[in-house]
Amino acid sequence: MAAKGIHIEGLSKCYGKGDTAVFALKDANMHVLPGEVVGLIGPSGSGKSTLLKCLGAVINPTAGRMVLGDEIIFDNEWKVRDLRALRRDKIGFVFQAPYLIPFLNVTDNVALLPMLAGVSNAEARKSALDLLTALDVQHRAKAMPVQLSGGEQQRVAIARGLVNRPPVILADEPTAPLDSVRAMAVIRILNDMAKHFETAIIVVTHDEKIIPTFKRIYHIRDGITHEEAGEGRSFD
Ligand SMILES: Nc1ncnc2c1ncn2[C@@H]1O[C@H](COP(=O)(O)OP(=O)(O)O)[C@@H](O)[C@H]1O
Ligand SMILES: [Mg+2]
């Protein structure tokens, strides 16, 4: 059986058919161990979001293999019957656009997922507040999303992606709207999560501030991945 973490082998994705077909991923490979935070870097249109969406079971890959933990989730077809449960229980998404729920306050936006998973409201709100505090946005806990700045919304979205302690976190440009101090705070939290909860984390980024913190980086160009050692610089 495969080691735990994330394994992607020979993954391809073709959007559309015939003359208009776009091959967004071509035999992509990626391996992330539990406890690791790896960077995924590539120019616009190189296939980064497509790779995350395949892994997150948001879109269907065309071919290849994906293993999460000890479960083969895709092998030329989905091997998991309940993709919604897979997304809910195994994968934390931190997307570029925060997509907060407009009629829930900040705390409840973050607490909603654990509440849906059956955690008591009080306990879910406490976990939410702990993460909001770690992300330095606790003073906005009772605010509505529309009242937040772009950077505050992003930090709330990050808290929401982490609150269920998923074994896998997929982050698409999580630090883009943040200044360097807050970007480093996000990197520190992701590394702490990885270490304490054995989470496997993929961070798509262009952000020059955070790229030197990765120990391993995957470069992607025209849908093809290459692995490289990163600087692994300390972020404290
Ligand atoms: N839904 C889609 N339909 C058709 N082509 C798409 C779709 N989504 C992405 N693409 C194409 O796939 C390629 C990779 O896109 P994407 O994964 O979004 O790249 P990145 O996130 O690296 O900017 C691009 O050529 C893009 O235009
Ligand atoms: Mg993208």
- The model carries a pTM of 0.88
What is the model's pLDDT at position 134? Answer: 87
Q: How would residue 3 be classed by pLDDT, with cut points 50, 70 and 90?
A: low
E strand map for the chain: 6-15, 22-32, 37-41, 63-68, 71-75, 91-94, 168-172, 200-204, 216-221, 224-229
Over range 147-169, report the average pLDDT.
90
Domain ranges of the chain: 6-229
> What fold does the segment set 6-229 form as a domain?
Rossmann fold (3.40.50)
What's the whole-number mean pLDDT along residues 212-227?
Answer: 96
Ranking 7-11, 49-53, 114-118 by mean pLDDT, the lowest is 114-118
- Which residue owns the Cα nearest ligand 1 atom 7? 15
Higher pLDDT, 124 or 196: 124
pLDDT of the residue at 2: 44
* Percent of the residues in the chain that have a pLDDT greater than 90, as a whole number: 69
pLDDT value of residue 199: 92
Please report, to the nearest 10 degrees, the dihedral formed by the alpha carbons of residues 39, 67, 90, 162 taken in order.
Answer: -10
The per-residue pLDDT for range 114-146, each reduced to its tens digit, is: 998 899 999 999 999 999 998 889 999 999 999
Residues 6 or more apart in contact with residue 63 via CB below 8 angstroms: 10, 11, 12, 76
Ligand 1 binding residues, C-beta < 6 A: 15-16, 22, 24, 42, 44-50
> Which ligand has the minimum distance to the alpha carbon of residue 222?
1
Give the ligand 1 atom nearest the CA of 59: 1
Ligand nearest to the CA of 17: 1
